[in-house]
Chains A and B, each alone.
Chain A
Amino acid sequence: MNWKFGDNINTDLITPGRYNITTDPRELAKACFIEYRPEFSKQVKAGDFVIAGENFGCGSSRETAPVSLKHSNIRAVIAKSYARIFFRNAINLGLLCMIADTDGIDESDELELDVAAQVLRNRTKGIEISIKIPSMMLRLYQEGGIIPYLKKHGLSALTDLEKF
């Protein structure tokens, strides 16, 4: 299923500051949307999508927000736009965050993501939505994040990032 949210979903709504006192990603996944959408962490299933409007992830630099989403095992976040630090953190962590017009997507719609073709098929509504994934995000997603990437290719591989 899809978990649909509005505009300006800030990092305090994703992982409230009071729950940021652990570095265990599984604990954090339990805190994901804990106050804003308490059923999320209990009902979210691997492969679900998080759908949102403008400026998703605004607020603090806390990486706990994308970490908690990533470890909720969602397939991807799809939003109209993202706040800068959240998006950067998502790139680094290998959390797929795509840019698309999300207005027509409902929670019960069955979605199929074709990363290679950069399209999202809404099977319920029988429409295709084009999505944008920056090439650096895609590459680091395939590598499992920037840390696994640097571990595999060495620190000097930092200079290759600009070629992605």
Chain B
Amino acid sequence: MGQTLAEKIFSRHCGKTVHAGDFILADLDLVMAHDTTCAWALEPFYQIATKVFDPKKIFIPFDHAFPSPNVAMSKLQAEIRKFAEEQGIPISFEGVCHQVMSERLINPGDLVLGADSHSPTGGGVGALTIGVGSTDAAIAMATGKAWFRVPETIRIDITGQLPRGSYSKDVVLAVAREMGADGANYRVIEYGGETVEQFNVPARLTLTNMSAEMGAKAAIVAPDQQTSAYLQENDRLIAFDALRSDADARFERVLRFDVSNLKPMIACPPDIDNDVPVEEVQAEKVVVDQVFIGSCTNCRIDDLEVVYRMWKGRRLKEGLRVIVTPASRKVYLQALQRGYVEEFMKMGAVVSSPGCGPCLGRAGGVLYDNEVCVSTSNRNFEGRMGSPKARIFLASPATAAASALTGYITDPRPFVN
């Protein structure tokens, strides 16, 4: 029987040929725990070990609340710093974990464990990157291993040329509408088809990132020329096997989406599968209090380029809070060099330091009761960005940028040249 891409990667990491349903103990290439989840991993880690299995294979970014917004968070970070120093692991302040790992650390074919639910993001680079909690991270830091049940794969084929004004975010919102918030629970989503083949890695990372919201254990795009171009842009000239699913691999389901007529989409609160075309919400004239362009879903340089082009020569809505948080230091520097940061700041937007920013409601743009936020992030639960009474709409950077110009939820198409 043929193997899926995910089954192949699991097989390579446990030394036997496995298929969906098999229980395995696998060797990991990289373990990530961040400024919140790592704090919880310390106590279980020291219960079972004194030294990590390999400090070079452990990544600890401070991103969820960095620079620290309060004493309680500073305490957690101090505890993690002490651990990291003891173990010889450098701490990264370069931005959101998934973005930094994709830029620098994740290689095609890798098996990566991340103590963060959006770990599937890294699958845009052609690896299997799986989210777990702190106890698993502790065991992985001690042993370099994790237990898995090899998951079934759902294959999603995307075809058609995206119309102007629609992007990979709109594609994945359309997929989420179909799949529901638990439609991919325990499964791997493998994205393919001509549209995905044409997407560059940054656009693919948006697909894999949002897959976590459908419950996926991992999401992946088979590594190809786009992947090597991305590795080269990031100064990594890594040769890799062009792994892909066999023709006779068993997929649990195959879904097809033709996106040639896809309109810009928006996920209305409080669920990810509550997706409608932006034009429908625009008709209701929903007034916006804050626009957040950031997060591991959509704040790469390509996203900021879309925003810059739409904003150039126009004015932001007076009084609206517009927050732009580049996903990583690298993205921030690119935006500086291209003049985007200067332009955004002159227009009145707040450009904050790379990291998670307001995405999780911990600092830097926390919402109050009944406020409305258009966000390029991935989660619109009640209370995610502050008050449980605030309303979060998730959309592409283009829709967020258009809404920042008008002050209400706005279809970006008239503003995209």
- Residue A105 at the B interface, CB < 8 A? no
| Chain A residues positioned under 8 Å from B40 (CB to CB) | 23, 63-64, 67
Contact pattern, A 56-76, Cβ under 8 Å of B = 1, otherwise 0: 001111111011000000000
The answer, among B39, B70, B79, B186, for a CB contact under 8 Å with A84, is: B186
Q: Is the interface of B mostly helix, strand, loop or mixed?
A: mixed
Contact A147 B185 (CB under 8 A): no
Q: Which of A12, A84, A147, A161 contacts B215 (CB 8 A)?
A: A84
Chain B window 128-159, contacts with chain A (Cβ cutoff 8 Å), 1 for yes, 0 for no: 00011111101100110101000000000000
The contact string, 1 if C-beta is below 8 Å from chain B, for chain A 150-164, is 110001001101100
B383 and A35 contact, CB distance less than 8 A: yes
Asked if B135 and A17 make an inter-chain contact with CB atoms under 8 angstroms apart, the answer reads: no
- Residue-by-residue, is A11-39 near B (CB-CB < 8 Å gives 1, otherwise 0)? 01100111011110000000000011000
> Of B24, B132, B182, which is within 8 A of A81 by CB?
B182
Using Cβ atoms and an 8 Å threshold, which residues of chain A touch B72?
21-22
Cβ-based interface call for B257 (8 A): no
Select which of B36, B115, B271 is within 8 A of A20 by beta carbon. Answer: B36
B334 interface hit (Cβ, 8 Å): no
Cβ–Cβ contact A61 & B132, under 8 A: yes
Q: Which residue from A16, A58, A81, A147 sits with its C-beta under 8 Å from B48?
A: A147
Indicate if B249 sits at the interface (CB-CB under 8 A).
no
Whether B182 pairs with A54 at a CB distance below 8 angstroms is: yes
Query: Of the 9-residue stretches A43-51, A85-93, A114-122, A123-131, which lies at the interface with chain B?
Result: A85-93
User: Chain B 109-136 against A: per-residue CB contact (8 Å), 1 yes, 0 no?
Assistant: 0000001110100000000000111111
Name the B residues within 8 Å of A61 (CB-CB).
Answer: 37, 115-117, 119, 131-133
Which chain A residue lies CB-closest to B134?
Answer: A63
Q: Report the tally of A-B residue pairs with Cβ distances under 8 A.
A: 123
- Tell me if B91 is interfacial: C-beta within 8 Å of chain A: no
Residues of B within 8 A of A10 (CB): 381
Interface residues of B in 2-47 (CB under 8 A from A): 23-25, 36-37, 39-40, 42-44, 47
Known: A84-B185, A155-B49. A13 touches B73 (CB 8 A): no
Contact partners of A54 in chain B: CB under 8 A: 182
Query: In this assembly, does B54 line the interface, its C-beta being within 8 Å of a C-beta of chain A?
Result: no
Is A146 part of the contact surface with B, judged by Cβ < 8 Å? yes
Return chain B residues, CB-CB under 8 Å to A99: none
Interface residues in chain B, defined as those with a beta carbon under 8 Å from any beta carbon in chain A: 23-25, 36-37, 39-40, 42-44, 47-49, 70, 72-73, 76, 79, 115-117, 119, 131-136, 138-139, 142-143, 145, 147, 181-182, 185-186, 215, 217, 271, 360-362, 379, 381-384, 388
Q: List 27 contacting pairs A-B, 8 Å CB cutoff, sorted by A.
A: A8-B271, A13-B381, A16-B388, A17-B383, A18-B361, A18-B362, A20-B36, A21-B72, A21-B76, A23-B39, A23-B40, A55-B215, A60-B117, A61-B37, A61-B131, A62-B36, A62-B133, A63-B133, A81-B185, A84-B185, A85-B133, A88-B133, A147-B135, A155-B49, A158-B139, A158-B147, A162-B147
